Amino acid sequence: MEHTNSAGARNSDKEVIIVTGSSGLIGTSIIKRMSEKYRIVGLDNTGYPFPPREAECVCYDITSEGSIRAAMERVRYGYGDKIASVIHLAAYYDFSGKPSPLYEKITVKGTENLLRVLQGFEVEQFVFSSTNLIYRPTSPGQKINEDCPLEPKWDYPESKVDTEKVILENRGRMKAVLLRIAGVYDDKGHSIPVSHQIQRIYEKQFTSHFYSGDTSHGNVFLHLEDLVDALEKTVERRSVLPDEVAINIGESETPSYQDLQERIGSLLHGEEWKTYEVPAPLAKIGAYGMNLLGDAFIKPWMIDRADDHYELDISRARDLLGWEPRHRLLDTLPIIIGKLNEDPVAWYQENDLDLPATLEKEQEQKKG
């Protein structure tokens, strides 16, 4: 199944880029940005939404080498053998934290299948979207560089570590760039942890005043526009990058959980938002209880990682890519929350959140 347009004409002098996971938030954004300079082919699962019209979409099953070969034959027919870069975003992810064989089947083996098929093409560069969560957590003030120890703590980052190894072992003549990317957000939210934190405070939930870890710790984030900038620069500089390189991509400052709490509380309610640290054993009991009563966002596994802290050293990105972020999450929160206040129902739907009873009633009244 294909979605085609004039961008796929063979006689174009633009170089070819392939984007896997092309219908996702990142894939869609990179296609829109780079389509003026490149011919882009998106690869994604059958039945997924098509990417923007700026790209041709070829549907495939990444778990099947035969399906990948068929998709790439379509690429060969329409665009030839030469590919400037493959931006590999496709992967399995489940925020529930439950173990799944799909991490191995889709992320690890799927990438191995793709690399095997790509050996039949002239591919200059293979770019992999890894994650900062592969590193051993650090402490506030201690930044993580690309040579720091790896210590993935659950299936998702473990699959990224395994896939990085697969890429380095099977890249052939392709240059390999491993982008270790922080948690992505944009002006509408689109970050599961940030959106849920905003939701809890917006609804003044009881749980919004408690945290099971050290509130001075936090994770590192990255605005979607900055990620697209980094991907674009990675492709543009492919000829001068090392044959194998890992690069941290994230904001240079890590907001603590308390920083976010205070900023969100002030923006939403104009007041200080008090947050109390709860001992992990008690918090885990509470999480089990909430999940017995319903599908609560806070899962018991999250309690074990509430103390984890990540700060990235992005000097390699500055040196090799000429890149650094133009956004900060704390500066973007007013924009995100402004959109929430402007149209709460739309914001909840955009972030895949269940509407509270008050908004459900309001929506029903509007329909009536």
Alpha-carbon gap, residue 51 to 53, rounded angstroms: 6
Q: What is the pLDDT of residues 282-329, one digit of tens each?
A: 554 444 444 544 445 555 555 566 889 999 999 999 999 999 999 999
Percentage of the chain exceeding pLDDT 70: 87
Residue 314 lies in a domain: no
Residues 121 and 162 in one domain: yes
Residue 129 lies in a domain: yes
Q: Which domain holds residue 26?
A: 2-184+221-249
Q: Which CATH number covers residue 88?
A: 3.40.50.720
| Residue (of 301, 223, 308) closest to 257 by Cα position | 308
Specify the range with the lowest mean pLDDT, choosing from 53-62, 149-158, 165-174, 316-325. 53-62
SS3 305: coil
pLDDT band at 255 (very low <50, low <70, confident <90, very high): very high
Give pairs for 350-354: CB < 8 Å, separation 24+.
350/188, 350/189, 350/190, 351/188, 351/189, 351/190, 351/195, 351/199, 353/195, 353/196, 353/199
Q: Does pLDDT of 33 surpass 90?
A: yes
- Enclosing H/E stretch for 3: strand 2-3
Q: Does pLDDT of 49 surpass 90?
A: no
Average pLDDT, the chain: 90
Q: Which residue type does 19 have?
A: V
Residues 122 and 242 in one domain: yes
pLDDT value of position 285: 46
pLDDT value of position 279: 64
Better pLDDT: 280 or 7? 280
27: exposed, middle or buried (Cβ count in 10 Å: 0-12, 13-18, 19+): buried
Q: Does pLDDT of 144 surpass 60?
A: yes
SS3 169: helix
Residue 318 lies in a domain: no
Specify the range with the lowest mean pLDDT, choosing from 47-56, 263-272, 278-287, 317-326. 278-287
pLDDT value of position 53: 81
How confident is the model over 137-157, as a mean pLDDT?
96
Residue 140 lies in a domain: yes
How confident is the model over 345-360, as a mean pLDDT?
91
Residue 331 lies in a domain: yes
Residues 89 and 227 in one domain: yes
Specify the range with the lowest mean pLDDT, choosing from 40-54, 113-127, 280-294, 315-329. 280-294
Domain total for the chain? 2
Alpha carbon 334 to chain centroid, angstroms? 22
Residues 237 and 343 in one domain: no
Residues 228 and 276 in one domain: no
Alpha-carbon gap, residue 91 to 362, rounded angstroms: 38
Residue 315 lies in a domain: no
Residue 103 lies in a domain: yes
Domain boundary residue, one of 249, 266, 298? 249
Residues 259 and 345 in one domain: yes
